Chains A and B, each alone.
Chain A
Amino acid sequence: MSKANLDSTLAALADPYRRRAIEMLRQRPHRAGELAEAMHLSFPAASRHLKILRRSGLVDEERDEFDSRVRIYRLRPGPIADLKSWLTETDALWARQLTAFKAHLQKRSK
């Protein structure tokens, strides 16, 4: 997933039901029914939320290999990894630039 999708990811997370589902999926993949139960929602209502998460790229949906009526949801690690690497790079960038800025001023003030 590209950085460009991060804000759609965050918009998808602007809902307590969907965050609850994501918290569940952080532990392991779950069936749609289990997620609906954890969200305290009817199956159709939960499905609408899961669809939003799927469209944002946060989760993948697949059919159970033994029972194709059952949908299994799993977290995609991309969005979190993207944000983490952006933070690391940006932090290092400013650390180097501010060191250079300080050296520039020390040189001038002498």
Chain B
Amino acid sequence: MTSTVFISVRVPVDPTRAFEAFTREIGSWWRPDALFQITPRGDGTLSFEPGPQGRLITHLKDGGIFEIGRILVWEPGKRLVFDWHHASFSRPDEATEVEVRFEPVGEETRVSIEHRAWDTIPRRHVARHGFPEQITLQRVAAWWRRSLSALRTAKTA
């Protein structure tokens, strides 16, 4: 168990097409999620404003727009990184970060998602919160992971 969620899937298209579908067609494939709502008013219809200065937003049924996060890395066919804010987070700067990678596997593409929690978000976020230097932070993250697996062992034992 780690403080980062990592999950991947193989899709029957090339990386360029997978990236395009992931970003341009997110409004069609994203399933509103009862258990993990982006806002208390529902998920709405998601869309990426493309490009390195873009953002991921959702259009709510009542006409409102909620910004899920800013795009941090936009490399079509390869890599996409964006902030992930959740409307229930009590502070606006309480963001987590999502990285999506697109890797060719023969004719297909492996799409991997890494959703990083607070303690594993790199320097940019660290600086904002006055954290100690990166190396210390990595040690803390490792410690945290060990603690969590210890806790899990204790619970299932």
Q: Is B39 an interface residue (CB 8 A)?
A: no
CA distance A94 to B4 in the complex (A): 12
Is the beta-carbon distance between B151 and A105 smaller than 8 angstroms?
no
In the complex, which residues 73-110 of chain A have their Cβ closer than 8 Å to any Cβ of chain B? 80, 83-84, 86-87, 89-106, 108-109
Q: How many A-B residue pairs have CB under 8 A?
A: 112
Determine the residue in chain A with the shortest Cβ distance to B17: A105
Determine the residue in chain A with the shortest Cβ distance to B18: A105
Is the beta-carbon distance between B136 and A105 smaller than 8 angstroms?
no
Is the beta-carbon distance between A14 and B21 smaller than 8 angstroms?
no
CA distance A4 to B129 in the complex (A): 12
Q: Is B115 an interface residue (CB 8 A)?
A: yes
Is the beta-carbon distance between A101 and B5 smaller than 8 angstroms?
no
- Chain B interface main SS type: mixed
Is the beta-carbon distance between A7 and B5 smaller than 8 angstroms?
no
Is the beta-carbon distance between B118 and A7 smaller than 8 angstroms?
yes
Q: B5 → chain A, closest Cβ, in Å?
A: 5
CA distance A20 to B118 in the complex (A): 22
CA distance A91 to B119 in the complex (A): 17
Q: Which of B53-61, B69-77, B89-97 contacts A (4 or more CB under 8 A)?
A: B89-97
Residues on A with C-beta less than 8 A from B143 are 13, 19
A residues at B contact (CB < 8 Å): 2-4, 6-7, 10-11, 13-14, 19, 22, 26, 80, 83-84, 86-87, 89-106, 108-109
14 contacts across the A-B interface (CB closer than 8 A): A6-B117, A10-B140, A13-B143, A80-B151, A84-B151, A91-B5, A96-B31, A98-B111, A98-B113, A100-B30, A101-B22, A102-B9, A104-B21, A109-B12
CB-CB nearest 3 A-B residue pairs: A104-B29, A98-B9, A4-B90
